[in-house]
Amino acid sequence: MTTIHLTHGEPVAAALRQALDANGRTDRVVALPDDLTVGPLRDIDEASDRGAAQRAAFWQGLDNEPETLTELLTARDCAALVALEADDSNVVIWHTNAASDQLTLRRICYRLRNAPQRLNEVRLADSDVAGDAAVERLRARLPDAAPISVLRITRLALEWQETKFANGETRHWHDNTFTSGTWADLDQSIVAILGAAHEPWLAPAAITAALRSFDADATVCERIVLWRLHELAAAGELGLRDDMSAARALTQPPASPASPASPASMAATHVPAPPSLPR
């Protein structure tokens, strides 16, 4: 019987394919790259595909484009899971303790909960999938695939259902528990980071990295941060510039938010609240 290996991210899937090839194995590797830590989830597993359409619309709204790469990835994930349910191959889920990996693990367990004998896992450390040695590390872990107990599959499937029902705007993974958050929570963290920064301007990539230090449970990607920066700029909470090089030379925010720019060139700055008038 063949084996299908599942990962959350395509980079891990690519490294795993190389690891399997080095061992002379022809197992299939499927990546499920949709970032489940953000956006609507409630009906994502419905047969009518209504939830997938809602989720695709969420990603589309971030870019204001008729069709985006992430929208396609959402549809691809759903199609891959449908095909997986119709298959009878053994499945190995490779996952770290990252929120996105843990959500993917729970979703797979939910979808295959009626075939628990097929489900196996390899638990990875972040260091296993980082750097140039990832292929060799994954190759060394190939024998570590172990069955997931029926009791654990049931618990993980239930946790996935609870997370879907909560349908938060963001999801945080802390102490082996998922909690829901809001865009307002994320916005508050972004504004706090900009307000405390030593540099007058920060690039979106720097803000994304700072979020992980500011809030260990914040795992949002740069694309989400970029979207929130535009929303905050539109609300007058911060200033944006198209040119990071010019931004570094400035100490004052622009009079009005700049037009959308690429993450590589954009810079954001905190806009102080106006002083209150004397009574």
pLDDT digits (tens, 9 = 90+) for 108-150: 999 999 999 999 999 999 999 999 999 999 999 999 999 999 9
Tell me, yes or no, whether 146 lies in a domain. Answer: yes
pLDDT digits (tens, 9 = 90+) for 185-206: 999 999 999 988 888 888 888 9
Tell me, yes or no, whether 173 lies in a domain. Answer: no
The answer to whether residues 122 and 154 belong to one domain is: yes
Collapse the DSSP code of 4 into the 3-class scheme (helix H, G, I; strand E, B; otherwise coil) and give the result.
Answer: strand
Of residues 35 and 146, which shows the higher confidence score?
Answer: 146
Host domain of residue 90: 3-166
Residue 18 CA to residue 101 CA, distance in Å, equals 20
The answer to whether residues 192 and 140 belong to one domain is: no
The answer to whether residues 213 and 95 belong to one domain is: no
**Cα-flanking dihedrals φ and ψ of residue 217, to 5°?**
-90, -5
Joined together, the tokens standing for residue 90 give 């053994």
The answer to whether residues 141 and 265 belong to one domain is: no
- Whose CA is closest to 73, among 34, 29, 101? 34
Place of tokens 């200033």: 239
The answer to whether residues 132 and 262 belong to one domain is: no
Tell me, yes or no, whether 139 lies in a domain. Answer: yes
Q: Total structural domains in the chain?
A: 2
The answer to whether residues 61 and 189 belong to one domain is: no
